[in-house]
Structure 1
Amino acid sequence: MPRPDTLNPLFRTLTSLKGVGPQLGALFSRFFGAPEGQEAVVLDVLMHMPSGVIDRRAQNGIAFAPVGSIATLKLHIDEHIVPPRGNNRAPLRVRAHDETGEITLIFFGAKGGWVERSLPIGETRYVSGEIGFFGREKQMTHPDYIVEPEKLDTLPLVEPVYPLTHGLSSKALRRVVATALEAIPVMPEWIGHDRRAVMAWPGFGDALRHIHAPKRPSEGDIVSPARLRLAYDEYLAGQLALSLVRSTLVKASGVARHMTGDLTSRVEEALPFALTDGQRLAIADIKDDLAKPTRMSRLLQGDVGSGKTVVALMAMAAVAEDGAQSALMAPTELLAAQHFRTLQPIAEKAGLNVVLMTGKMPAATRRKVLAGLASGAIHVAVGTHALFQAGVEFHNLGLTVVDEQHRFGVHQRLALSEKGHKTDLLVMTATPIPRTLVLTHFGDMDVSVLREKPAGRQPIDTAALPISEYDRVIARLRARFDEGVQAYWVCPLVEESEVLDVVAAEDRHAELRKVFGDKVALVHGRMSASEKQAAMERFQSGDAQILVATTVIEVGVDVPDATIIIIEHAERFGLAQLHQLRGRVGRGAARSACLLLYTEPLSETAKARIETICKTDDGFVIAEKDLELRGHGDLLGTRQSGMPGYRIAVPDVHSHLLEMAHNDARAALDHNPGLKGPEGEALRMLLYVFRKDLAIPLIKAG
């Protein structure tokens, strides 16, 4: 459906407003980030929130206006003191008084007589600005406003202050904001009556007026009812859009699985350890989902080493009991191979047929695997996104498991389910994502969390040292190597870069070889897959004792004998990344250690990161701290992939509204899936106002 005509005034371009020429229009379009080839519109200005307010209500007279405060004074103009000819540096001064005292108004570089015209001798004017002090007298330099008594109402007594850009004055912006406020149409209310009554929120238009034209400073505050209402609206639009994506994915076109429990119990018997309570709960959640006729869409969050792969295997076994196949998709071939190695022996014991599909399979093997998938003889295929290329046909694909969701957005999810298999979806991530972020980015998924580490996992001793202690570290390593210990040595970059004075992986590899000879292997991003594989195999077999690596090892590499990890330039890594890397050790029976080497001096943030890592190994505590240290956008490493950027809601201040908006969006769609009638109409308007109308075609007909 096209955009309702009611909203047209909000989508008028700014250049169609009086006083906004092409130059100012182009400036606004850049400032508000209008898409290529489009112009900024009225709505952009209304959604541009002030960063504070100036209170000009104090009108107590000169004597009672404290130095440094903003005051509005009713002055009698007494005298103009013009600077001597040829002295361009001296200001023009205007002496004035009221009943309580005297003041001098100061104007630098005042040319063309405008000051004399604005402040005629013998007349009364209102002026507003900051009170200063010089010598023994009060003064005001360049007042913000000068108005005639009969025009006092044009002086904003409470004035919002906005973030600006080079070339945009606050006067110009305020003028456009005032015009924009007049354009707000009367719109239906999309917030339920009960919610609004409880929160005592104004209507949408009134909320914008309170913020952009406040009568009292508190009206525009970041926690004022008006601002809370708009933040909630923004969250509600986002959650509504995510729920619509979800309902498209989950359309009742799933398959209710009939599970016998036969294969899952055999898998459990084949496990070398007992399942944790967390794993049991997650498996129960998944089985419930699989038994329903809707599609499963579940996010399985578990810290490094919490045993997500085993939960996935149980899910795949459950699906196989109903005669369907599963695909496990990993972001890299290295990881896919790793998953395959973990699953293969257990699956084999339980009678499940698992294959690894890579891009480099010999043609004959590939033909055999494709035939097995097409006939249904193969139960589980593990691989990269190559699993979903043309030519790979499944007999009956029932479950897709995706590892490391954040490299795999909503669009890929839609495309994957478009394979038309009615498949259930299980997504695994080792990035523990705080609840608010789960809602923001994956509001469309149910969540299971694995909090405990599997039995037998050892705590990891973590310490930090400056790089100047390098020789001590080497001596220590040498002593441990005689005991047959293996270690990772992680470097941040592949090549020496002039900007970052980083010891490249190759240099470090060469340095370590001087001490440890050919016991040192190297893996970095520029190597071919076969070179990487060869180096990894040397390390896995124990032939190499040190693996020097860039962060290619951060996810999923499993070498139980490696008990030491040294992270060089730890100050350059994010918290989540340090935590992921540390999880590469502590996988065997021996106690493990993680050493962070840093270069001094450390910034406050780097210091806080390193302290956090040394103090705790709880991924959820670390994720919350990470969020605090670097804000929402980067946590998933997805600044650039169209994650929701908020213009009104400030996550730290308004996050309590997110849960509320999430629940309200779900309730609205459960109650009225086609968004029909007046209530539905109002919610569709909300989607247009917050530019989420891409979700409108997903609204279920009927």
Structure 2
Amino acid sequence: MRPSLLDPLFASVRTLAGVGPKISALLLKLLGAESANMLEPRVGQLLFLPPASVIDRRNRPGVAFAEAGAIVTLEVTIDHYQFSPSATKTGAFMRGSVPHRVFAHDDTGEVTLVFFHAQRAWLEKSLPLGEKVIVSGKVEWFNGRASMVHPDHIAPVDGSEDLPLIEPVYPLTAGLSPKTLARAMRDALTRIPDLPEWQDKTLMARENFPTFSQGLHHLHMPQEPEDIAENSPARRRLAYDEFLAGQMALALVRAKTRRLSGRPLMGTGRIITQILANLPYRLTKGQEQAVKDIIRDLKAPERMLRLLQGDVGSGKTVVGLLAMAHAAESGGQSALMAPTEVLARQHFATIAPLAEKAGLKTALLTGREKGKERQRILTALADGTIHIIIGTHALFQEKVDYNDLVLVIIDEQHRFGVHQRLQLTAKGTAPDMLVMTATPIPRTLVLTAFGDMDVSKLTEKPAGRQPVTTAIVPVERLNEIVERMKNAIKQGQKIYWICPLVEESEHVELTSAEERFQSFLPIFGNKLGLIHGRMSGQEKDEAMLAFKRGDTRLLIATTVIEVGVDVPDATVIVIEHAERFGLSQLHQLRGRVGRGDKPSTCLLLYKGPLGEIAKARLQVMRETEDGFRIAEEDLKLRGEGELLGTRQSGTPGFKLASVEAHADLLETARKDARLILERDINLQSERGQALRLLLYIFGRDEAIRLLRAG
């Protein structure tokens, strides 16, 4: 049960001033709360909407000194009205009518206040003749006269303390006025309950943090423009609260998972030695270290929770196989789950031959295995004949029973959230878990999504791989590149030429694969191949086979070749309109060359003029082949939500915190969360009870349920 102290924050926004059903629906859209299956947003969710900027109304130059287009605040005396003859008696307007004008002055000059949609009675009441009033808005000059159309604020001089001098500006959605939102926000601030402090006193002093309530007040009623900046103490305090709630939830998942204590898998080293003897290459230092880390974890009595990150082609699958071999030496079974059937079959093709040579029985289980064949696999799995099973989600359906499942490996983890991790572990008697990803994830994002895991990284390329030289070339030099391609083909090289579209579109001036193929046909003749996503599976296979055999030497392709295509003797890739691709996609495409023992080249062909972000992207590609550095830069250019596909992944999309701006706080939050749970695993202490409130406030209820489940 949520503590009643928090009820005001969980009340509907419809309890706030000026918010009815219509405004509530608009706020739901603005806050993105509909993705959380809510019918209407809560007061607390509204308070977590940070302003995008501020309007500074402290500029009081006097009418004569107000600059055109500037927002100013003026203290003026009302002189006379010029009501529109086209307005009705109530003041309502007809289409194309003349506006109402109110003339006023101060010591320096005169100003006209212009109103298109105002009731006459309201104007007479708000701007009484002969009285002094405060008006604030944008000033324009025309024929030497100052005017202000629809002032943003009008207040009597004695009520001017209500005028926001630094006014927050929020993102809006069609139909929602800034005034309505500001009024609701001011009312929401009055609902913040008197909460106990959950942050550490030393940290508060060191970071100059205000209280939670003060932080929200600074954010929504700033005294200075700097109050809303990401590096202000108020914003950093709230960001830290959000990070800590996330890290506490992950640490509780970790603690819960570890409490279902694993069992030590001692192994003998016999099968691993056999597999290593059959490998046609030596492991890289990174692979050796990862295997060492994993075996150490498997031998420990606590459950393993490890993330294995590897760049394009760094050899994660072999590391996974050696982990499963260790499990088999200890008498247990392993399951490797991939997100797609294609990837599952690829793993099976790599792993099965090596495993069989070492005497291990491997099977494949996807949605495609049916009837008797499926039943045979399920029986062999239940009686322990199968040591390694590879497949998709099908591995964890209710009817699949294991004899002794001790290790679960999940490939491409960012497709599965924390909840799925808990679900999977229910299958074995608390199996060890290894998670693999080929998408280099920046350290900060690893912490937000996988804070409950230990991390191993594979950064080297396998032996014999050559570096790839990357050059940025303007499209004007196309003819020169074509000449270079002719020479390269004469020397027996193979080339990929990547286009962004399949066929020409009138709306976008990008060279399509079809069009490029036609234009190159007279030059390269039967040496030219074409592959794109609209082809049938068989046509694609034939096009790839012709390229692999060397029948074709220049393959025009779309991004269909981005992942999983392996032609070791392809040495050149040209990416046309490279400015249109994202960084990680460019990196994946470049990974198609440099897979053999010959030096390779990547040409990034662009059409100018380049925007700042596109320029930065291409520059990063030229400077480095390190997927982890590229991921860090991609994070800076695109933001965390887009990079991990936040919505789909169960990864938190932060409201107040920014992974980039507040990265230093994320490290601290992770350490703090682990320390808290070491000392107070059930959050029973005074600070523990306060931290339970924090978890509720940031919607981490599932973590509270873990506490109860023990």
TM-score, scaled relative to structure 1 = 0.88
Q: Is the 8 A contact 1:252 1:293 kept in 2?
A: no
Asked if 1:190 corresponds to 2:202, the answer is: no
Q: Is the 8 A contact 1:405 1:429 kept in 2?
A: yes
Q: Aligned partners of 1:12 and 1:179: how far apart in 2? A: 12
Asked if 1:685 corresponds to 2:684, the answer is: no
Counterparts in 2 of 1:484 and 1:128: CA distance versus 1, 3 Å: closer
Q: Find the counterpart in structure 1 of residue 166 from structure 2.
A: 158
Q: Aligned partners of 2:373 and 2:527: how far apart in 1? A: 34
Q: Find the counterpart in structure 2 of residue 414 from structure 1.
A: 422
Q: Find the counterpart in structure 2 of residue 30 from structure 1.
A: 29
SS in 2 for 1:287: helix
Q: Find the counterpart in structure 2 of residue 336 from structure 1.
A: 344
Q: Aligned partners of 2:518 and 2:69: how far apart in 1? A: 62
* Aligned with 2:682 (options 653, 662, 674): 674
* Aligned with 2:668 (options 660, 663, 667): 660
Mapping of 1:630-669 within 5 angstroms? Answer: 630-669=638-677
For 1:96, the aligned partner's letter is H
Q: Aligned partners of 1:506 and 1:580: how far apart in 2? A: 22
Mapping of 1:34-53 within 5 angstroms? Answer: 34-35=33-34, 36=37, 38-53=39-54
Q: Aligned partners of 1:58 and 1:462: how far apart in 2? A: 52
For 1:14, the aligned partner's letter is V
For 1:29, the aligned partner's letter is L
How many angstroms does 1:569 deviate by? 4.1
Mapping of 1:234-313 within 5 angstroms? Answer: 234-313=242-321
Q: Aligned partners of 2:109 and 2:321: how far apart in 1? A: 84
SS in 2 for 1:402: strand
Q: Aligned partners of 2:514 and 2:397: how far apart in 1? A: 36
Q: Find the counterpart in structure 2 of residue 576 from structure 1.
A: 584
For 1:95, the aligned partner's letter is A
SS in 2 for 1:298: strand
Q: Is the 8 A contact 2:339 2:411 kept in 1?
A: yes
* Aligned with 1:458 (options 434, 453, 466): 466
Q: Is the 8 A contact 2:267 2:329 kept in 1?
A: yes
Q: Is the 8 A contact 1:338 1:557 kept in 2?
A: no
How many angstroms does 1:230 deviate by? 0.9
**Which sits farther off after the overlay, 126-135 or 201-210?**
126-135
Asked if 1:95 corresponds to 2:94, the answer is: no
Asked if 1:54 corresponds to 2:55, the answer is: yes
Q: Is the 8 A contact 2:417 2:650 kept in 1?
A: no
Mapping of 1:5-404 within 5 angstroms? Answer: 5-35=4-34, 36=37, 38-57=39-58, 71-77=72-78, 79-80=79-80, 82=82, 89=98, 92-98=101-107, 101-109=108-116, 112-130=120-138, 142-344=150-352, 346-357=354-365, 370=378, 372-389=380-397, 392-404=400-412
Q: Aligned partners of 1:121 and 1:23: how far apart in 2? A: 37
Asked if 1:611 corresponds to 2:610, the answer is: no
How many angstroms does 1:576 deviate by? 0.6
Q: Aligned partners of 1:362 and 1:339: how far apart in 2? A: 20
SS in 2 for 1:651: coil
**Which sits farther off after the overlay, 123-132 or 559-568?**
123-132
Q: Is the 8 A contact 1:46 1:181 kept in 2?
A: yes
SS in 2 for 1:662: helix
Q: Aligned partners of 2:340 and 2:623: how far apart in 1? A: 31
For 2:665, the aligned partner's letter is L
Asked if 1:441 corresponds to 2:452, the answer is: no
Q: Aligned partners of 1:366 and 1:533: how far apart in 2? A: 28
**Which sits farther off after the overlay, 217-226 or 286-295?**
217-226
For 2:45, the aligned partner's letter is D
Counterparts in 2 of 1:104 and 1:299: CA distance versus 1, 3 Å: same
Q: Deviations over 1:433-480 (max 9, x none)?
A: 111111122222221112222221101123344567666655544544
For 2:105, the aligned partner's letter is A
**Which sits farther off after the overlay, 27-36 or 180-189?**
27-36
Q: CA RMSD in A?
A: 3.5
How many angstroms does 1:66 deviate by? 6.9
Q: Aligned partners of 2:642 and 2:280: how far apart in 1? A: 38
SS in 2 for 1:320: helix
Q: Aligned partners of 2:431 and 2:58: how far apart in 1? A: 64
Work out the percentage of aligned pairs sharing the same amino acid: 52
How many angstroms does 1:302 deviate by? 1.6
**Which sits farther off after the overlay, 490-499 or 602-611?**
490-499
Counterparts in 2 of 1:142 and 1:363: CA distance versus 1, 3 Å: closer
Counterparts in 2 of 1:429 and 1:344: CA distance versus 1, 3 Å: same
Q: Deviations over 1:70-89 (max 9, x none)?
A: 55454444x22637967965
**Which sits farther off after the overlay, 318-327 or 493-502?**
493-502
Q: Aligned partners of 1:515 and 1:144: how far apart in 2? A: 66
Q: Aligned partners of 2:149 and 2:527: how far apart in 1? A: 73
**Which sits farther off after the overlay, 290-299 or 521-530?**
521-530
Q: Find the counterpart in structure 2 of residue 592 from structure 1.
A: 600
**Which sits farther off after the overlay, 178-187 or 268-277?**
268-277
Q: Aligned partners of 2:138 and 2:511: how far apart in 1? A: 53
SS in 2 for 1:235: helix
SS in 1 for 2:39: coil
Q: Deviations over 1:214-266 (max 9, x none)?
A: 34444444322222111111111122222233334443332211132333333
Counterparts in 2 of 1:137 and 1:648: CA distance versus 1, 3 Å: same
SS in 1 for 2:643: coil
Counterparts in 2 of 1:158 and 1:494: CA distance versus 1, 3 Å: closer
Q: Aligned partners of 1:227 and 1:601: how far apart in 2? A: 37
Counterparts in 2 of 1:456 and 1:207: CA distance versus 1, 3 Å: same
Q: Deviations over 1:640-687 (max 9, x none)?
A: 444322221233322222222222222222222222243232222112
Q: Deviations over 1:337-358 (max 9, x none)?
A: 4334444554455444444556
**Which sits farther off after the overlay, 399-408 or 28-37?**
28-37
Q: Is the 8 A contact 1:12 1:41 kept in 2?
A: yes
Q: Aligned partners of 1:684 and 1:84: how far apart in 2? A: 60
Q: Is the 8 A contact 1:289 1:295 kept in 2?
A: yes
Q: Aligned partners of 1:544 and 1:369: how far apart in 2? A: 41
Q: Aligned partners of 1:218 and 1:600: how far apart in 2? A: 37
Which ranges of structure 1 fall in alignment gaps of 5 or more residues?
Answer: none
Q: Aligned partners of 2:448 and 2:669: how far apart in 1? A: 11
Q: Aligned partners of 2:229 and 2:512: how far apart in 1? A: 49
* Aligned with 2:637 (options 626, 629, 640): 629
Counterparts in 2 of 1:238 and 1:473: CA distance versus 1, 3 Å: same
Counterparts in 2 of 1:188 and 1:102: CA distance versus 1, 3 Å: same
How many angstroms does 1:43 deviate by? 1.6
How many angstroms does 1:628 deviate by? 1.7
Which ranges of structure 2 fall in alignment gaps of 5 or more residues?
Answer: 87-95
Q: Aligned partners of 1:509 and 1:402: how far apart in 2? A: 40
Counterparts in 2 of 1:90 and 1:669: CA distance versus 1, 3 Å: same
Q: Aligned partners of 2:177 and 2:636: how far apart in 1? A: 33
Q: Is the 8 A contact 1:338 1:558 kept in 2?
A: no
Q: Aligned partners of 2:336 and 2:521: how far apart in 1? A: 38
Counterparts in 2 of 1:198 and 1:265: CA distance versus 1, 3 Å: same
Q: Aligned partners of 2:555 and 2:403: how far apart in 1? A: 41
For 2:343, the aligned partner's letter is L
